[in-house]
Every structure is written in structure tokens, then in C-alpha cells.
Structure 1
């Protein structure tokens, strides 16, 4: 059982390291710096920023929707019980 816990903790740290590495890669390249961008290059960077913001917003709304649906179902069941009485 302890080996399973060690594997889970190892995977957690590996996922953290991979996420940080991939997230910080654009800092190393001049192409990704908005100050150096002009014209079409600036539009591409802006589009990439909009797409990433949309991914974060979509994930957040999807998470909130699942919790809201659980709350709505319990409230509907309460009202159905009250209507029967």
C-alpha cells in the first residue's frame, strides 16, 4: 500500500515539473515576447492569448456547472416532496 502512495506522489511531482517546464518555455524564446511583435505576429500572439483564456474560462465554467446541477437536483427533489404533502 505504501508503494502505491509513493507512486502517486511521484506522479504528482512529475506532473508539476512537466507543467512548469512547458509553461515557462515561451519565456526563453524571443518570438513569444509581445514587445518584439509587429503586425501579423502581434495578431497571432493575441489569438493565442485569447484561446488560452477561453480554455481556462471553459474549464472553470464546466466545473461550476457540475456543482450547480447537483444543487439544483437536490432542490427539485425537495420541492417534489413538498408538493406531494
Structure 2
């Protein structure tokens, strides 16, 4: 049990170091600075920015979709109970 705990803590620290290293690298590398970018280089950096924004937007929408589906399910159940209670729905 103690060996497994040590492995888990080691993996956690390695993941933290890797995330910090990869996340902070663009700050110190001149190639990633937008001020120095021109032409094709600027287009690549813009594309990378758009991809990262898409990742965050997609994650946010997926998170909201789960909650929205849960709310929709409860509303459908309420509608079905009301529909059964009052009979057929009359559409005009």
C-alpha cells in the first residue's frame, strides 16, 4: 500500500512539473512572442491561439450541456405528467 501511494505522489509531481514546464515555456521562448511575429509566423501563432480558445470553449460547452440535459429531462417528465392528466394536447 505504501509503494502505491509513493507511485501516485511521484506521478502527481511529475505531472505538475510537466504541466508547468510546458505551460511556462512560451513566456521565455522568443518564437512564441506575438510582438516579434511577422507574416507566416504571425499566422501560425494566431492559429495556435484559435485552437487553444476552441479547446476552452468546447470544454465549457460540454460542461454546460450535461447540466442542460438534466434540466430538460425533468421538464419533459413534468410535461408528460401534465399531458396524461389533461388528456390529448390540442394544437391549433
What TM-score range do you get, normalising by the shorter chain? 0.7 to 0.9
Residue 70 in 1 paired to residue 73 in 2? no
- Aligned CA-pair RMSD: 2.3
Instruction: Please state how far the C-alpha of 1:65 moved relative to its aligned partner.
Output: 0.8
Q: Report 1:1-85 matches (<5 A).
A: 15-85=15-85
Q: 1:9 to 1:78 in 2, by over 3 A?
A: farther
Q: 1:21 to 1:70 in 2, by over 3 A?
A: same
Could you list the runs of 4 or more consecutive aligned residues of structure 1 that deviate by over 6 angstroms after TM superposition?
4-10
Larger-Rg structure: 2
Gaps of 5+ in 1: none
- Which structure is richer in relative contact order (CA contacts within 8 A, separation 6 or more)? 1
In 2, distance between residues paired with 1:81 and 1:6?
54
Q: 1:28 to 1:6 in 2, by over 3 A?
A: same
Greater helix share, structure number: 1
TM-score by length of 2: 0.74
